Amino acid sequence: MLKPIEIKKGLYYVGVNDRTKALFENLWPLPKGVSYNSYLINDEKTALFDTVDICYSDVFFAKLESALDGKPLDYVIINHMEPDHSGSLGLLRSKYPNVQIVGNKRTADMVKGFHNITEGVIVINEGDELPLGHHNLVFYLTPMVHWPETMMTYDKTDKIIFSGDAFGTFGTLDGGITDAQLDPERYYDEMVRYYSNIVGKFGSPVQKALEKLKNLDLNYICSTHGPVWTQEDQIKKIISIYDKLSKYEGDEGVVIAYGSMYGNTEQMAETIAYELAQQGIKNVIIHNVSKRSHSYIIRDIFKYKGLIIGSPTYNNKLFPEIEYLLSKVEGREMKNRFFGYFGSFTWAGAAVKRLAEFADITKFEVVGTPVEMKQSMHLQNYEDCVALGKAMADRLKQDR
Ligand code: FEO
């Protein structure tokens, strides 16, 4: 029997930590793990908020049983159906056959599709309320933060928002559950990586969701991943992180992502970076796309306004890892970046042409003149790379 983890009177943490999976969604590295958060309000009626990944159902059910303290489970509110949260829903219904599943009409479709459950499902609409006794819940539909059925549930009594993936972050909860019990600093970068990798495409829906939240008093943000945010300054900070990222606003700085087989194209990246530093740009991040997981490159592209990409020509196309990175940036419908590019070839050039197409597709503001190098660095290439670095620095400085 586990001891219940009480966040505040009547609110329990029943989530789990995953330190085993290498890749979230089988795509994104998890060096610091991830938590799947689930919560219980134990009132006259009991309400569970989401479940957890099926791999951790044993620990989850032990925690839930402890938090229920012998009471029946009346409701499970499904804020998000992605299986990292709904994976244990079928088992939950087996163990608690009388539990009512609460979600919107899109949720109901997915509950049927993923779990073959159609009975005991309560379909709610925007603004509907659900009284639990002392606590009173109200539902806000927030589609595409991160799936079409996503919604948030607000406890009007204690001013708690159960926000689904919103305000989530990679990183396990090592000891502390709330921001007051741990060092929040260790989560900010992982929050940006989580947002940019998982939710990054959905800037406009995130803005709409933030608009719905803006008039709510918030004492607690209970996301499905990462710490529970309780401190006023932390709540303001994480809302501002999400606001900035979803507007595709970046800080002054440049990400230079390059591919290079034998180091010649890499020298172009080094030359541009050095010139940026000479011009007073301090945040210059160089990523070798063959070595660095794209997850971190995408995080940094969301962080900084400047982006410069360089690629050799490979089989009359882009270097494959660069092509793969471009598809991820295009897929996120990234906006508002100053873009420079360079490429190389040995006998026939193709890389620079494809990078020009990428600039058209993304509608990034092209800065400077693209540089194309044949075989290795010559004086003219060097001077052209310096000019590209200077042009990017000048453009960034215009926004100071
Ligand atoms: Fe944490 Fe979209 O699931």
Q: Is 53 in the pocket of ligand 1 (CB under 6 A)?
A: no
Would you tell me how many other CB atoms lie within 10 Å of the CB of residue 273? 20
For residue 100, pLDDT over 80 is answered with yes
Average pLDDT of the segment spanning 265-273: 98
pLDDT in tens, 174-223: 999 999 999 999 999 999 999 999 999 999 999 999 999 999 999 999 99
Average pLDDT of the segment spanning 358-369: 98
Nearest CA to ligand 1 atom 3: 82
Closest atom, ligand 1, to C-alpha of 147: 2
Instruction: Tell me, in angstroms, the distance from the centre of ligand 1 to residue 373's CA.
Output: 43
Closest atom, ligand 1, to C-alpha of 198: 2
pLDDT of res. 144:
96
pLDDT of res. 284:
98
pLDDT of res. 3:
87
For residue 1, pLDDT over 90 is answered with no
Q: Is 146 in the pocket of ligand 1 (CB under 6 A)?
A: yes
pLDDT in tens, 103-144: 999 999 999 999 999 999 999 999 999 999 999 999 999 999
| Its pTM surpasses 0.85 | yes
Instruction: Tell me, in angstroms, the distance from the centre of ligand 1 to residue 264's CA.
Output: 41
Q: Is 84 in the pocket of ligand 1 (CB under 6 A)?
A: yes
Would you tell me how many other CB atoms lie within 10 Å of the CB of residue 70? 6
Instruction: Tell me, in angstroms, the distance from the centre of ligand 1 to residue 198's CA.
Output: 8
Average pLDDT of the segment spanning 42-51: 98
Q: How many Å apart are CA 225 and CA 207, to the nearest integer?
A: 20
Residue 174: both structure tokens together? 């090592």
Instruction: Tell me, in angstroms, the distance from the centre of ligand 1 to residue 150's CA.
Output: 9
Q: Is 43 in the pocket of ligand 1 (CB under 6 A)?
A: no
pLDDT in tens, 326-341: 999 999 999 999 999 9
pLDDT in tens, 139-163: 999 999 989 999 999 999 999 999 9
pLDDT in tens, 62-76: 999 999 999 999 999
Nearest CA to ligand 1 atom 1: 165
Would you tell me how many other CB atoms lie within 10 Å of the CB of residue 298? 24
